[in-house]
Structure 1
Amino acid sequence: MDDFQPATTAEHLLWLLAEHGVEHLFLNPGTDSAPLQEAMATLAKAGVATPKVVICSFESLALAAAHGYWQVTGRPQCVFVHVDVGTQNLGAMMHNMLRDRAGVIIIAGKTPYAEEPGAPGGRSHTIHWQQDVPDQAGVVRGYAKWVMEITRPGMLARAIGRAVQVATGGLPGPAYLMVSRDVLMDPPAPELGRTTRYAVPRPPAADPETVAWIAAKVAAAERPLLITAKVGRRAAGFHAVTRLADLAGVRVIDLAESGCVSISTSHPMNLLPAADAQRAVEEADLIIAVDADAPWIPRFTRPREDATIVHIDLDPLKTSMPMWTFPVDVAVTADGPTALGQIADRLEEMGHTAQERAAEASRAPAAAGDGPITGAEVISALNGLLRPDDLVIEEAVTNARALHDHLERTEPATMFGAGAPGLGWGLAGAVGVSMASPGRRVVSVVGDGGFMFSVPTAALCLAAEAGAPIMAVVLNNDGYRASRLPVFELFPDGLSATRGDAEGTRFSAPPDFAAVARACHAHGETVTDRSELPAALQRGLQAVESGRSAVVDVHILRD
């Protein structure tokens, strides 16, 4: 409304978020959110647009959902949490936001300052002293891109504008704001402040001279190789990688760690089997690493000494990783999709024609056999059911490599992952993707440990509250295989390896995941017989199409 005049700073805050394009407020309420909750009701009655409130019963899931929404749209959403304890519950999802360069605005309450009788919003409970900690922002300071406390109404408009600008631009990341409820209850500043001219920097391009030099190197190389993890998050990156593969015969290692696809899984230059990728690193005379945190693992493979290595990244110095010391000959500060598109354009200008492509390797999962269902069989069943435009979220941990190698994904932006190892993202991240993609079927493939890390009751509640159904396919190998394998690796002759087990990695009394789903008003079923697998997955997809979430718990080979 043009004549909007907020009565409180809380009302002004909600109006500002909407004016800056924030569509959702993921809310985990507490004693400090009361002014916002009243403001939501007041503004709704007055017909003033505000972000849609999505109630979240656990903070980390709110942040994971906002992260998933960012991956699809590139637009930061807002998460509100309760003072220091709510901030602490953001947990590993803050790590994921940092590593995946995902923008979100986190607003945390702050212990009220006022304590005198009658002070609006002042201290009124014991917890207002218990939660008064020396450095609340220190909980996230190592992971947040920007931190600020709003201490008076007059700074609110600038703080929100700056938060959106910083979260979105440059190296995107979380912006963390704090505000106490007594400030939220204050009358707003007389001047509401501007909501425009907080320009977000355009994605940086490589300089023409560097582009020409790289294109010439690609044209002259006998075995050029491109390694990436996240450039395919944007359709422009997917298409640029494909163009380079087609134009210059550039082989592509699309690292599984990001969960996305940067080139079609059916493209013959996509080196999917891990062994092929390892050999390619060792054989390449030119390596272009783009948006990859760890382009190879030196313990297992290294480039040849005479290989030219080009690194393209928004932050090629990787300043948040103190010991990032991969060999690099030319470092380019540029947006990955933009720079690769420039290189492809230059190759076309040079009249470079397509090179002979390498023969495509067989990537079909192993055929079904006797014994327990394998992860590869689940992937094969999904291939028979998923549409090209279905959205897949990956948090399969030790089955991630197999999923990446064998799941058929031929269209850009149809596969997502946390882009970092903070476990527990797979369900709520999928909800965020679903919220940003109405009408699309969203399937999250998770391990049984990851499913429990995801706080499934809270995640399924979030999906229902947001009207964003998902299907979770649980690859259930009855424990923490990811924590068992390092024991065998470091102690190959140890007692654990001899007996084929490791302490603390098996569940003796695991939950019934299908029953958990049903308790949350979702479809749930358990699969132990491979003949029942396709039908169970189909029923799960039908539930999603009807607007209801589903959990298909597939008991796979336990090793």
Structure 2
Amino acid sequence: MEDFQPATTAEHLLWLLARHGVEHLFLNPGTDSAPLQEAVATLAKAGVAIPKIITCSYESVALAAAHGYWQVTRRPQCVFVHVDVGTQNLGAMMHNAMRDQAGVIVIAGKTPYAEEPGAPGGRSHTIHWQQDVPDQAGTVRGYAKWVMEITRPAMLARAVGRAVQVATGGRPGPAYLMVSRDVLMDPPAPEPGRTTRYAVPRPPAADADTVRWIADRLAEAGRPLLITGKAGRRPEGFLAVTRLADLAGVRVIDLAETGCVNISTSHPMNLLAAADGQRAVEEADLIIVVDADVPWIPRFTEPTDATIVHIDADPLKTDMPMWTFPVDVSVTADGPTALGQIAERLEEMGHTMPPPGRPEAARPAAPPVPADGPITVHEVVAALNEVLRADDLVIEEAVTSARVLHETLDRTRPATMYGTGSPGLGWGLAGAVGVSMASPGARVVTVVGDGSFMFGVPTAALCLAAEAGAPIMAVVLNNDGYRASRLPVFELFPQGLSATRGDAEGTRFSAPPDFAAVARACHADGETVTDRAGLVAALRRGLSAVESGRSSVVDVRIATD
């Protein structure tokens, strides 16, 4: 371990994390983290490299930020939480990390085992009995890819190496470790343990026969369609989707809810309008589904006479018990890798341009700008198009406004839009902070609903941005309520009293907080916009704040339908 000899297992743990490439430890401290906090001071004085400690005031915010960092870098970061209660406060962000296949490592404290007088790190507070629960890991067992408790120093090196390997490899996902503070205070193992040769599997490719078969079908198809949600998470996926669209005239449905750019919004084969996508599903004779949890919703559209190829690292979708979409050919492969193989095969076949007559997609026309009344979502997106640069990074958690954002926001470059494609609201603020941390100097803009803004614990998220020196601009689409919870009432009861009066119980905020004031209380600029004439200028001021190193919140009051 170079010239440094750790005195405790906690010191060894920090050293191991750094050796495995973990750059940040998002810390939410408690009584169980004391050995780590002392170890940080000791190692800093000794000049030993350890992850940068980022103080977080709420656990879900810490995990969302680590998740955002992973999306940009594909490098796992670590979150430390306080025993069972800290684990519970990870909440829906654990679901998001699982569904979005985010390689993150969560380390949770564990109630001390020792209770004898003088035992280092032993039980010393009432809560050490109260927090001794039968199955702490059960809180996250359905969402963690791997769970392990470190019960003795000798297993630490292998446990950390395995956590990084499992979180990063295959279908990435969260790894959950537990360790009690008395173990953290134990003397470390005599040998530091191996920190190398925890190989991460390379992305699986499709077999050559399958690639040839798909390429042949693609060349023969009259109405081929590619549906993808997350192939563009990596730049090579974006390029592969674009190559197929250029080579074979494949029309592309870039699923809106994933918050990802799979193909340029200006590409003629990009089916941006929902209605166009639904018709394409029904008309296609070949559909290739790649890295998409829900390729279409049967209630609204279904293929009629198409051969369906499904490419995914887990095409069986074993974590979705009732995933029963029709599939004719199922391929276990990494989406970007397989699409690249298919494109290369088409080029080998001499298929270098789309057949004549392949239809091009049309971008949905924006509705006319109203002369008066509330600002519309279309106007907000038009204003964003005016102020954003092509290399700005956009984080999306717009909920019921996500479709408009997807259809009308200009995104022409890979890796310039992020989201989870998951149901756990409250990710957008801290996820943006993580993206900002991983992208120094970039302008990071998150577009969230007012409900998502509050779910995101804005005081904690904005303070985290200040702590980490990772400024963001949050654009809040503020319609004074939970539109996402109101619309299902109207859908299920179209003739009901709620639909008749245009409202549903529990979906309006009668006394919402002043989001701009919240921002100003948390080291950020805050501004409320009610007049469309001032919208672009407000967004420019928010971006100027980000450029100066300060976060900003632009609270835009939109129509409350």
TM-score, length of structure 2 as denominator length: 0.99
Q: Structure 1 residue 270 and structure 2 residue 270: aligned?
A: yes
Q: Structure 1 residue 548 and structure 2 residue 529: aligned?
A: no
Contact 2:100/2:421 (<8 A) preserved: yes
Q: Structure 1 residue 185 and structure 2 residue 196: aligned?
A: no
What is residue 172 of structure 1 aligned with on the other side? 172
Deviation at 1:449, TM superposition (A): 0.3
Give the CA RMSD over aligned residues. 0.7
Helix, strand or coil at the partner of 1:202: coil
**What is the alpha-carbon distance in structure 1 between the residues aligned to residue 215 and residue 276 of structure 2?**
25
1:457-491 CA distance string (max 9 Å, x none): 00000000000000000000010000000000000
Deviation at 1:521, TM superposition (A): 1.5
Helix, strand or coil at the partner of 2:339: helix
Deviation at 1:418, TM superposition (A): 1.5
What is residue 524 of structure 1 aligned with on the other side? 526
Inter-CA distance 185–214: structure 2 relative to 1 (3 Å threshold):
same
Alignment of 1:353-502 (within 5 A): 353-355=352-354, 356=356, 358-369=359-370, 370-502=372-504
What is residue 344 of structure 1 aligned with on the other side? 343
Helix, strand or coil at the partner of 1:265: coil
**What is the alpha-carbon distance in structure 2 between the residues aligned to residue 258 and residue 94 of structure 1?**
17
What is residue 313 of structure 1 aligned with on the other side? 312
1:339-391 CA distance string (max 9 Å, x none): 00000000000000211453341435323212110001000000001000000
1:369-427 CA distance string (max 9 Å, x none): 12110001000000001000000000000000000110000000000002201000000
**What is the alpha-carbon distance in structure 2 between the residues aligned to residue 106 and residue 5 of structure 1?**
26
Contact 1:367/1:377 (<8 A) preserved: no
Alignment of 1:134-153 (within 5 A): 134-153=134-153
Helix, strand or coil at the partner of 2:237: helix
Contact 1:235/1:413 (<8 A) preserved: yes
**What is the alpha-carbon distance in structure 2 between the residues aligned to residue 498 and residue 130 of structure 1?**
50
Amino acid at match of 1:510: P
1:181-234 CA distance string (max 9 Å, x none): 000000000011010000000000000000000000000000000000001000
**What is the alpha-carbon distance in structure 1 between the residues aligned to residue 237 and residue 399 of structure 2?**
25
Helix, strand or coil at the partner of 2:475: strand
What is residue 93 of structure 1 aligned with on the other side? 93
Amino acid at match of 2:84: D
What is residue 66 of structure 1 aligned with on the other side? 66
Q: Structure 1 residue 250 and structure 2 residue 250: aligned?
A: yes
**What is the alpha-carbon distance in structure 2 between the residues aligned to residue 198 and residue 11 of structure 1?**
21
Q: Structure 1 residue 298 and structure 2 residue 308: aligned?
A: no
1:78-132 CA distance string (max 9 Å, x none): 0000000000000000110111011101000000000000000000000000000
**What is the alpha-carbon distance in structure 2 between the residues aligned to residue 421 and residue 237 of structure 1?**
24
**What is the alpha-carbon distance in structure 1 between the residues aligned to residue 381 and residue 199 of structure 2?**
44
What is residue 324 of structure 2 aligned with on the other side? 325
- Unpaired runs of at least 5, structure 1: none
Contact 2:272/2:363 (<8 A) preserved: no
Helix, strand or coil at the partner of 2:387: coil
**What is the alpha-carbon distance in structure 1 between the residues aligned to residue 94 and residue 521 of structure 2?**
29
Amino acid at match of 1:337: P
What is residue 215 of structure 1 aligned with on the other side? 215
Helix, strand or coil at the partner of 2:60: helix
Contact 1:543/1:550 (<8 A) preserved: yes
Contact 1:258/1:417 (<8 A) preserved: yes
Contact 1:266/1:410 (<8 A) preserved: yes
What is residue 6 of structure 1 aligned with on the other side? 6
**Any runs of at least 4 consecutive aligned residues in structure 1 with deviations exceeding 3 A, and if so which?**
none
Amino acid at match of 1:371: G
Deviation at 1:503, TM superposition (A): 0.1
Q: Structure 1 residue 198 and structure 2 residue 198: aligned?
A: yes
What is residue 33 of structure 1 aligned with on the other side? 33
**What is the alpha-carbon distance in structure 1 between the residues aligned to residue 35 and residue 546 of structure 2?**
36
Q: How many residues align?
A: 558
**What is the alpha-carbon distance in structure 2 between the residues aligned to residue 524 and residue 515 of structure 1?**
6
Helix, strand or coil at the partner of 1:332: strand
Contact 1:536/1:552 (<8 A) preserved: yes
Amino acid at match of 1:494: G
1:25-51 CA distance string (max 9 Å, x none): 000000000000000000000000000
- Unpaired runs of at least 5, structure 2: none
Contact 1:366/1:377 (<8 A) preserved: no
**What is the alpha-carbon distance in structure 2 between the residues aligned to residue 317 and residue 226 of structure 1?**
19
Deviation at 1:2, TM superposition (A): 1.6
